[in-house]
Every structure is written in C-alpha cells, then in structure tokens.
Amino acid sequence: MPTFRTSRIVKHTPAQMFALVADVESYPEFLPLCEDLRIVRRVQSGEGVETLVATMSVGYKAIRESFTTRVTLDDPRLRINVEYVDGPFKYLENRWTFREAPAGSEVEFYINYEFKSFALGVLMGSVFDKAFRKFTEAFEERADRIYGAASQARL
C-alpha cells in the first residue's frame, strides 16, 4: 500500500493554488502520466462545495489504465478530497490542502493507493511513485506559468 505525502511552500496564494488543482480538465496538459481526463458528472452544493465524478486515463509506455474518482472541491476550506470509484485499484485516497504561509502558501499533497493486480502493482508501482513525487512540482510550475513566476501572495 504505497503512501506519499509532501508539503511545499509556493509563492502563490492558497486560493490560486486551489483553483489550479481544482481545474482537473487541464491535467492532461501538464501532469505526469495523465493522458486524458473527462468529467462524468458535476454537482454544486450551494455552499462553495462542488463534487465531480471524473475518469482519468494514465499511461506509461505500452500500459494504459483508466480509473474513476469522486472529487470534492471544498473552496471555503481550501481542500480537495479524492475518493476512488472504479478502475484498477483496490483503493485510492488523495487529499490536497492549501494554507497561508509567509511567502505565499503551503500546499500539502497526500495519496494512498493499492492496485488490485499484484502484477500491475509491480509494473506500475515505481512509475506511479516517481510521478506522484513530481505532482506538486508540476502544479507549482503550472502556477508560475499561469500566475507569473514573480507572483507573491497578494490576495
């Protein structure tokens, strides 16, 4: 059961980073292994919370897999929770939190997962581990491109 957790201080505001991570449809443009992402359903709660059901297709060399998750975008609390729905995993849990920090914001990323198939876990496990380690870096680089490399927390 691989687990990965990281926390980074970035020079963008928590609201900017939340918006960037919440923009799941853009993931194929910059996220490692992500080849496609489709929103299956989108529901607004009216309290600043939106729930998406999304199917992501990932690939590495000749291996392609798709999986579906329920993504809760909690704007008032600046949290994103991802719950596994269907695909090649026994389970997958992913959380993002965004907090104020002196030079911008602290972005925390956590993921815990296990493949259903031992063989797929062996084939993809180290690839997924490397990709997850690059996730926060990929989001930070995208934030620099979108909000400007010199952006400081000012909202």
Q: What is the DSSP string of 63-102?
A: EEEEEEEEEEEETTTTEEEEEEEESSEEEEEEEEEEEEET
Residue 33 or residue 56, greater confidence: 56
Higher pLDDT, 149 or 5: 5
Taking 50 as the threshold, does the pLDDT of residue 154 lie above it? no
CB 128 within 8 A of CB 34: no
Is-contact 23 139, C-beta < 8 A? no
* pLDDT given for residue 151 in this prediction: 54
Hey, what CATH topology would domain 3-147 get? Alpha-D-Glucose-1,6-Bisphosphate; Chain A, domain 4 (3.30.530)
Per cent of the chain over pLDDT 70 is: 94
Q: How many CA atoms lie within 13 A of 65 on its CB side?
A: 17
